[in-house]
Structure 1
Amino acid sequence: MSRETAYSPAFKAFGAEHSAAAIQRQEALDASLGTEHRTADLQARTLRGNGSTVGGVTSLGSFSHVTQTWLWSWANPNFDWDHVAVAPLRRIHEYGERNGIPELTTGHLEFGGFPDPHQAATTLAIAAGYLLDGNGVWSCTINDGKGSAYVHLDDPQLPSPGFDPLAASRLLMTAVEVFPEDHRRTVRGYFERCAVPYEETADTIAGGAPDGDRIQANFDERGRLEKVTSHLA
Structure 2
Amino acid sequence: MSAFDELFAQHAATAYARQLALADLIGDRDWQLDLNAGVATFGDDLRFPIQLLGTESHIDGSWLWAWANTGSNLPPQLLHLSEWLRAVGEERSVAELTEPGFPLSRADGARLALIASGLTDRCYYRGPYDGGAVFFHLGDLPAEIVAPVSPERAFLVVPQVIGVFELDHRLTLLSFLHQQGWSIADNTPSLVVGRHSSGSEMRVAFDDQNRMTRVSGQI
CA distance in structure 2 between the aligned counterparts of 1:22 and 1:150, rounded to whole angstroms:
15
CA distance in structure 2 between the aligned counterparts of 1:154 and 1:198, rounded to whole angstroms:
32
CA distance in structure 2 between the aligned counterparts of 1:141 and 1:105, rounded to whole angstroms:
24
TM-score between the two structures when normalised by the length of structure 2? 0.86
1:35 matched residue in structure 2: 28
Q: Deviations over 1:129-170 (max 9, x none)?
A: 332212x2112233xx01211111122326224143223333
1:109 matched residue in structure 2: 102
CA distance in structure 1 between the aligned counterparts of 2:149 and 2:176, rounded to whole angstroms:
8
Residues 8 and 114, structure 2, Cα contact 8 Å, conserved in 1: no
Counterpart mapping for 1:171-186 below 5 A: 171-186=157-172
Residues 51 and 138, structure 2, Cα contact 8 Å, conserved in 1: yes
Which segments of structure 1 move beyond 3 Å, counting only runs of 4 or more?
177-181
In the alignment, structure 1 residue 195 sits paired with structure 2 residue 185: no
Residues 92 and 104, structure 1, Cα contact 8 Å, conserved in 2: yes
Secondary structure at the aligned position of 1:71 is classed as strand
CA distance in structure 2 between the aligned counterparts of 1:91 and 1:100, rounded to whole angstroms:
14
Tell me the CA shift for residue 179 of structure 1: 4.3
Tell me the CA shift for residue 196 of structure 1: 2.5
Q: Deviations over 1:88-111 (max 9, x none)?
A: 223322221222211111111122
Q: Which runs of 5+ in 1 are unaligned?
A: 1-7
2:141 matched residue in structure 1: 156
2:116 matched residue in structure 1: 128
Residues 168 and 228, structure 1, Cα contact 8 Å, conserved in 2: no
CA distance in structure 2 between the aligned counterparts of 1:141 and 1:222, rounded to whole angstroms:
37
CA distance in structure 1 between the aligned counterparts of 2:28 and 2:56, rounded to whole angstroms:
20
1:94 matched residue in structure 2: 87
Q: Which runs of 5+ in 2 are unaligned?
A: none
Residues 58 and 151, structure 1, Cα contact 8 Å, conserved in 2: yes
What's the Cα RMSD here? Answer: 2.4
Between the two proteins, what is the percent identity of the paired residues?
25
Tell me the CA shift for residue 60 of structure 1: 0.7
